């Protein structure tokens, strides 16, 4: 009887292992993993009308520091899609595991996606309010307010860069959070958008392509805000108003940039533009072009994964304030 029980247990364990092994590396599989590592889920950081905006707190797996340094993650999705669990999609899972083992907490933030009445800069305001909220509750979670970093990918990279580069006291949202200020020490940008007006070459587009770009502008900035066939100098300035490169100054924080050289969604030139601007102001940065990698960096070999993990951890620890 005892042997039969052991056999049943072993077969059950094998069955569960096979289930996870053969389940595609998809949204469903990722969500299962993500929810197993979240410590505090759907923490409300503010209310907007009838909607609650939340964040997830993932505490470190190893106690390294007396106060916990924090890395805030901003998901991508072309400003109109995405969710908090994108943190652990593809390469993110490997990086997250190492960050948690190194003693850092990771916060994954929900923000308003752009559509209808939700236009720029609502998403940026939300991201900055999430940072203010984390400062307001830092004592409750033993967060080290002197060691906050921010990480984003794609459009999330745009938001992370802009939130990190711009002053804490602007883009105010929730009244209860306005008295809290944050101090970001560094930003990590994966394949981020840095200047929206430079994403597309309008001069070589046909009417169908221009119509598609018009739809994108309508989603991001509001219907009829811009006419793709009649963009003025002021229009371009408005489109770039919240672009990260617009905020680069002598006070800009250190930046880690990782970008797939074969990115077909956000061209590598977006990172090149940012690097040129950072060089202009002598800002500290690291720039790693991953040869052959796509936008999500999910088509690279294990040695490249290890290299990226090392870039991230060494960069974070290099700017830790003791």
CATH at residue 44:
3.40.50.1820
Q: Are 249 and 292 members of one domain? A: yes
Give the model's pLDDT for residue 26. 75
Residues 6+ apart with CB under 8 A from 46: 52, 53, 126, 129, 130, 133, 173, 174, 176, 177
Q: Are residues 104 and 80 in the same domain?
A: yes
Domain check: are 50 and 135 in the same one? yes
Which range of residues forms the domain containing residue 18?
Answer: 1-37
Alpha-carbon gap, residue 18 to 90, rounded angstroms: 19
Compute mean pLDDT per 10 residues along the chain, 322 residues long, and list them: 46 43 65 96 95 97 96 96 96 96 98 93 97 98 98 97 95 94 97 93 91 92 89 92 94 98 96 98 98 93 95 98 93
Beta bridge partner(s), residue 109: 55, 74
- Are the beta carbons of 190 and 153 closer than 8 angstroms? yes
Residues 169 and 124 in one domain: yes
216 and 126, same structural domain?
Answer: no
Q: Is 121 in the same domain as 263? A: yes
**What's the half-sphere exposure (Cβ side, CA atoms, 13 Å) at 104?**
25
Residue finishing a domain among 239, 269, 303: 239
Question: Do the Cβ atoms of 76 and 86 come closer than 8 Å?
Answer: yes
Q: Is 70 exposed, middle or buried (0-12, 13-18, 19+ CB in 10 A)?
A: buried
Do 101 and 226 sit in the same domain of this protein? no
118 beta partners:
115
- Does 177 lie in the same domain as 140? yes
Instruction: Indicate whether 59 and 111 sit together in one domain.
Output: yes
Residues 20 and 42 in one domain: no
* Number of domains forming the structure of the chain: 3
33 and 45 belong to one structural domain? no
Q: Are residues 136 and 283 in the same domain?
A: yes
Rounded CA separation 72/195 (Å): 22
């Amino acid at each position: 009887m005892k042997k039969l029980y052991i056999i049943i247990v072993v077969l059950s364990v094998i069955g569960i292992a096979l289930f996870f092994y053969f389940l595609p590396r998809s949204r469903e599989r990722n969500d299962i993993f993500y929810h197993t590592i979240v410590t505090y889920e759907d923490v409300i950081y503010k209310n907007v009308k009838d909607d609650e905006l939340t964040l997830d707190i993932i505490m470190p797996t190893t106690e390294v520091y007396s106060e916990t340094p924090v890395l805030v993650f901003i998901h991508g999705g072309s400003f109109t899609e995405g969710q908090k669990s994108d943190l652990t999609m593809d390469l993110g899972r490997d990086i997250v595991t190492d960050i948690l083992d190194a003693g850092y907490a990771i916060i994954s933030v929900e923000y308003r996606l752009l559509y209808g009445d939700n236009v720029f800069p609502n998403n940026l305001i939300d991201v900055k309010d999430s940072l203010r909220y984390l400062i307001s509750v830092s004592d409750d979670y033993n967060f080290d307010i002197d060691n906050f970093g921010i990480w984003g990918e794609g459009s999330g990279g745009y938001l992370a860069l802009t939130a990190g580069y711009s002053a804490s006291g602007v883009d105010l949202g929730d009244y209860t959070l306005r008295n809290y200020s944050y101090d970001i020490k560094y930003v990590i940008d994966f394949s981020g958008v840095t200047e929206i007006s430079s994403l597309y070459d309008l001069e070589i587009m046909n009417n169908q392509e221009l119509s598609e770009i018009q739809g994108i502008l309508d989603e991001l900035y509001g219907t009829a805000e811009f006419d793709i066939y009649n963009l003025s100098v002021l229009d371009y300035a408005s489109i770039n108003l919240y672009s990260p490169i617009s905020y680069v100054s002598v006070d800009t924080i250190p930046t880690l940039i990782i970008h797939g050289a074969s990115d077909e969604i956000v061209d590598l030139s977006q990172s090149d533009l940012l690097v040129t601007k950072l060089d202009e102001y002598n800002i500290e940065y690291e720039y790693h072009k991953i040869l052959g990698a796509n936008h999500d960096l999910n088509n690279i070999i294990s040695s490249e994964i290890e290299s990226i993990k090392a870039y991230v951890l060494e960069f974070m620890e290099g700017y830790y304030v003791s």
